A = this chain, B = another copy of it.
């Protein structure tokens, strides 16, 4: 619909249609447009509150380009139309100078609140909470609260729980919106509130926040400061995004592309994200090459060993990545504890032993049929078994040790595990072969 009207150049009809379209659908349409100018032609037709929601829903590369093209005045209006958490996200993504300029233009309320939110780390509870709270006192009656909601519906747009606070802003409890329907109008909130409320501190990591939402099936979570005062709330729609973001981050980190934005058209970003890991891999690959070079004479005598050794390294690398991925993901989901290292290692070693025997026999058999060299085939099978045991050990120990040391295992497990299975795979195979021939 939007696409057809935009193509026909019917600005008036387009504006009418856009006003009736869900912001997420407009954002999806803008994401498909390749030209910034075409995007701006549609975006400029949107009124302030809707435009803000559209910006929130745009894909990252598209949003970045669009924000850069907008005037400070327009951007300023967009910021005022957003919830405080989204306003802080938007400003946080801008270059320092522009952010300051926009904060300077903002309403005093926005400047103060959003300025505070920007001070929290992006991936902490403080960094994802919003400050729209509308807290109530325990002495308020259900009737007073419902009257207040009727006169201020905008303040309760996405509120699932009414938080009850003391005079000093300490969190006392929460009343689910549903309870307001069940309770009699003269009932005090203090009587029906749930005092056993799960809450988090502002500096808790967003991954931990997501765990709490999952564990307790929450719709919203109050955030408190160091003095236990209610500072903000996190809603489940933001957590859905956090869970996806954390999974993406781990996946990209495991592949050595951490920090890269999916779909970014800028090659410079990609090079900056990937080159360091490729360079590090070049170092470890050179170490592997050095390990091979030790056995130059062996290879001169048995050139086919150069072919067989790569099978040993490849199998080890794959098996190591299997173990490592399971453990990195298990640690991230909280389904494995680093303290269980020994139990994990025992199980992985058993799996590697059985897989290693089976694959070793298979590979040795194929090698014997291919080359008819019994000694070489036996060395291949044995080296494969041994390298699978190496893979299980490294695949188990590397991520759990990193986790115990407080380092994100997703960041460097891959390079360490595969470097180990490469170097040791070559050394084991060529070493045994040198002893045998």
Interface residues of A (CB under 8 A from B): 22, 24, 28, 57, 59, 146, 149-150, 153, 156, 158-160, 177-178, 180-182, 210, 213-217, 219, 236-237, 239-241, 243-244, 247-248, 250-252, 254-257, 260, 262-263, 265, 267, 270-271, 274-275, 277-279, 281-282, 284-286, 288-290, 292-293, 296-297, 299-300, 303-311, 313-315, 318-319, 321-322, 324-326, 329-330, 333, 335-336, 347-348, 350-351, 354-355, 358-359, 362-363, 366, 422, 426
Question: Which of B288, B330, B358 contacts A310 (CB under 8 A)?
Answer: B288
Ranked nearest first, the 10 interchain pairs of A and B with the lowest CB-CB distance are A247-B247, A306-B306, A255-B325, A292-B307, A289-B307, A217-B237, A285-B314, A262-B330, A299-B303, A285-B311
A sample of 19 inter-chain contacts (CB < 8 A) reads A24-B217, A149-B178, A243-B247, A244-B333, A247-B247, A250-B251, A251-B251, A255-B321, A256-B321, A262-B326, A262-B330, A267-B347, A270-B348, A278-B355, A281-B318, A285-B311, A299-B303, A310-B422, A310-B426
A24, closest chain B residue (CB): B215
B265 x A351 contact (CB < 8 A): no
In terms of DSSP, what is the predominant structure of the interface of chain A?
helix
Looking at the assembled complex, report how far the CB atom of A403 sits from the nearest CB atom of chain B, in whole angstroms: 14
Residues of B within 8 A of A248 (CB): 247, 329, 333
B322 x A308 contact (CB < 8 A): no
Looking at the assembled complex, report how far the CB atom of A328 sits from the nearest CB atom of chain B, in whole angstroms: 8
A270 x B333 contact (CB < 8 A): no
B149 x A181 contact (CB < 8 A): yes
Question: In whole angstroms, what is the CA distance A146 to B275 when docked?
Answer: 61
Looking at the assembled complex, report how far the CB atom of A384 sits from the nearest CB atom of chain B, in whole angstroms: 9
With A216-B24, A351-B271 already in contact, the answer to whether A326 and B257 are too (CB < 8 A) is yes
